[in-house]
């Protein structure tokens, strides 16, 4: 995450999206969650969040995007409530959220915003939390929230909270396309219909020295949600076809959807005819990014 302090009592944080370059669901766990194996990559699409300490108690969130849900189940609120409980905070927080990451697209925007809230609280209130402390707190909010306290690229296992940072090539481009379709993560897992006894061996990346070698390795895996979603939601297949026709060397769904992405060795010249006919599709051209360490 990228931080700009405005005053001693306020700051702006750029909270990045992430893509799942591959995603396997290995088995269902007795606690109701699932073990996964995935490669998380932070990308250059950011929510811009202004945090300011306030005289009132609690948290007030303002945003022009009404899809985020600014009530108690918002992950930003959950993150602040967690800090309030742990540290007995009486200080309040005002939040202005400029939402640029598509909601419900499988790009981790809500998790990134929650991580940004933990970081803002730590810095503004001088709580003295280490990176590992922040990861532990983040894991209590959501499985992929701890990722945003890494350098921006990691293999995720367990529920997604066990992270092994990697140094794979990042010199390529990603074209993200998100239709007006919000897919339930819980329903996506339920659709896999795994039992407690089912399991499979996790995919492992080999040595990748170039972006093309990385793409070749990624073709050996996939996204376990993508097949069922392409059948249920034909728009995803249409997006995949458009990305391939635009020259993508690999096309995949991120997370449990609904965002699709294409990988390119060089910045593509967008064929506007492929996307202009679908004005409801959100199109973002991004790159992998490394995140500062906090």
CA pair distance 205, 203, nearest whole angstrom: 7
- Cα distances from 64 to residues 6, 30, 70, 244, 251, in angstroms, run 22, 40, 11, 34, 32
3-class SS shares of the chain: helix, strand, coil, % to 5 = 30, 30, 40
CA pair distance 167, 151, nearest whole angstrom: 10
47 is catalytic: no
Selected catalytic residue, list 47, 113, 144, 224? 144
Question: Cα–chain-centroid distance for residue 129?
Answer: 23
Selected catalytic residue, list 18, 28, 78, 99? 18
CA pair distance 18, 7, nearest whole angstrom: 29
CA pair distance 47, 22, nearest whole angstrom: 23
144 is catalytic: yes
Question: Residues with catalytic annotation?
Answer: 18, 144
């Amino acid at each position: 995450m990228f931080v700009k302090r405005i005053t001693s009592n306020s700051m702006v944080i750029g909270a990045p999206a992430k893509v799942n370059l591959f995603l396997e669901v290995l088995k269902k766990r007795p606690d109701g969650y699932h073990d996964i194996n995935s490669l998380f990559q932070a990308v250059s699409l950011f929510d811009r969040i202004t945090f300011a300490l306030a005289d009132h108690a609690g948290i007030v969130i303002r945003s022009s995007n009404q899809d985020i849900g600014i009530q108690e189940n918002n992950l930003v609120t959950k993150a602040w409530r967690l800090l309030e409980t742990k540290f007995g905070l009486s200080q309040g927080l005002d939040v202005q959220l400029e939402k640029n990451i598509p909601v419900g697209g499988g790009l981790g925007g809500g998790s990134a915003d929650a991580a940004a809230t933990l970081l803002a609280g730590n810095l503004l209130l001088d709580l003295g939390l280490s990176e590992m402390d922040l990861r532990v707190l983040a894991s209590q909010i959501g499985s992929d929230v701890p990722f945003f306290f890494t350098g921006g690229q990691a293999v995720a296992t367990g529920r997604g909270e066990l992270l092994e940072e990697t140094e794979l090539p990042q010199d390529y481009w990603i074209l993200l396309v998100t239709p007006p379709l919000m897919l339930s993560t819980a329903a996506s897992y339920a659709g896999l219909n795994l039992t407690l006894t089912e399991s499979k061996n996790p995919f492992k990346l080999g040595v990748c020295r170039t972006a093309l070698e990385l793409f070749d390795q990624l073709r050996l895996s996939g996204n376990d949600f993508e097949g069922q979603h392409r059948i249920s939601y034909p728009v995803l297949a249409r997006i995949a076809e458009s990305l391939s026709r635009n020259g993508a060397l690999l096309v995949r769904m991120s997370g449990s959807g609904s965002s699709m992405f294409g990988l390119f060795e060089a910045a593509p010249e967008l064929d506007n005819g492929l996307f202009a006919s679908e004005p409801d599709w959100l199109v973002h051209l991004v790159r992998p990014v490394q995140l500062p360490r906090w």
